[in-house]
Structure 1
Amino acid sequence: MQLIPVFLTELEQETQTTRKMLQRIPDDKYDWKPHEKSMTVRQLATHIANLPTWVTMAIATDGLDFEANPYKEDEINNTAELMTYLETCLADGKSLLVPESEAVLNDPWTLRSGAEIYFTSPKHEVIRTALNQIVHHRAQMGVFLRLLDIPIPGSYGPSADEN
């Protein structure tokens, strides 16, 4: 079974739902967070929009070392910028989802911080994790929006706000 077409289809489908969620963020709520330990709306939204680039990173590299390359999200200041950023990150994420990439999907990929290894997995599992993270953090954003009394769009069918 070829995985690249599966990943490409899923990335496209999940991005459709992600667009609906992110476009509802009011510009005046970017610094809001529901709890002191939570990310701000800005941090969470930027992370969600950026996650497709992890597909490219998984295919193009052998890993990520936070000690050597501290991870820093771009700063987004409003929803118009966020939507443009999402499209840029989606294009990046799709850029290596090409048939030639099938050959590397079983190669190992390692997430670490210096000598501390968090995990080593085949690249296809790292891509799966990135796609899962989009869904996970998008649901988290749904909670943020609910707490702000902003109607939630449906994900895999209508939401309670759409019925």
Structure 2
Amino acid sequence: MTMIKALLTELEKEAQTTRKMLERIPDAKFQWQPHTKSMTLLNLATHIAELPGWITTTLTTDELDLAEVPYVAPVLNSTEELMTLFEDKLKEGKSQLEEANEERFNDTWILREGNQVYSSDTKAEVLRMVYCQIVHHRAQLGVYLRLLDVPIPGSYGPSADEVSF
């Protein structure tokens, strides 16, 4: 199996779980946050929905300079809009992976803000980090949903909300 095929397979499996998590977010709780230092539910969910778009950024550029391209969050007013954002970014990321040249996976990709370099890794390493970020932030979302008493879907098997004890 090629690295691209493996990444596409994993992306689809993680997307199935991510969909189940995102679709459970109650619109009325978008501004809720568990702590003042935590992101709001909407900010966290938006970040998760946008992460597959980092596949495109990684594969089509050699760096992202946040001083030149500052982040602007999309305006989302419903879980339906959040799901549309996720599906669009997922489709875009898959398309870029399908067209990718594996030989370029060893090229360096840099994340910076002006002269401040946050990371300098191979594109392959950045792609793996993107996948890890999806799982990491999805786990955070699970905690948020648990605290809001929203049933949690299983990720790699059934959740406590899906089995009887």
Q: TM-score, normalization: structure 2? A: 0.95
Alignment of 1:1-163 (within 5 A): 2-98=2-98, 100-163=100-163
Cα deviation per residue 1:28-87 (whole Å; 9 max; x = unaligned)? 000111111111111011110000000111010001111111122212111111111111
Give runs of ≥4 in structure 1 deviating > 6 Å.
none
Q: Which amino acid aligns with 2:51?
A: L
Q: Which amino acid aligns with 1:136?
A: H
Tell me, which stretches of 5 or more residues in structure 2 are unaligned?
Answer: none
What RMSD, in angstroms, separates the aligned Cα atoms of the two structures? 1.1
Aligned residues of 1:4 and 1:97 also touching (Cα < 8 A)? yes
Structure 2: distance between partners of 1:115 and 1:54: 21
Aligned residues of 2:4 and 2:100 also touching (Cα < 8 A)? no
Shift in Å at residue 118 of structure 1?
0.9
Percentage of pairs with the same residue: 58
Aligned residues of 1:46 and 1:75 also touching (Cα < 8 A)? no
Shift in Å at residue 2 of structure 1?
2.4
Aligned residues of 1:42 and 1:77 also touching (Cα < 8 A)? no
Tell me, which stretches of 5 or more residues in structure 1 are unaligned?
Answer: none
| CA distance 1:35–1:126, change in 2 (3 Å) | same
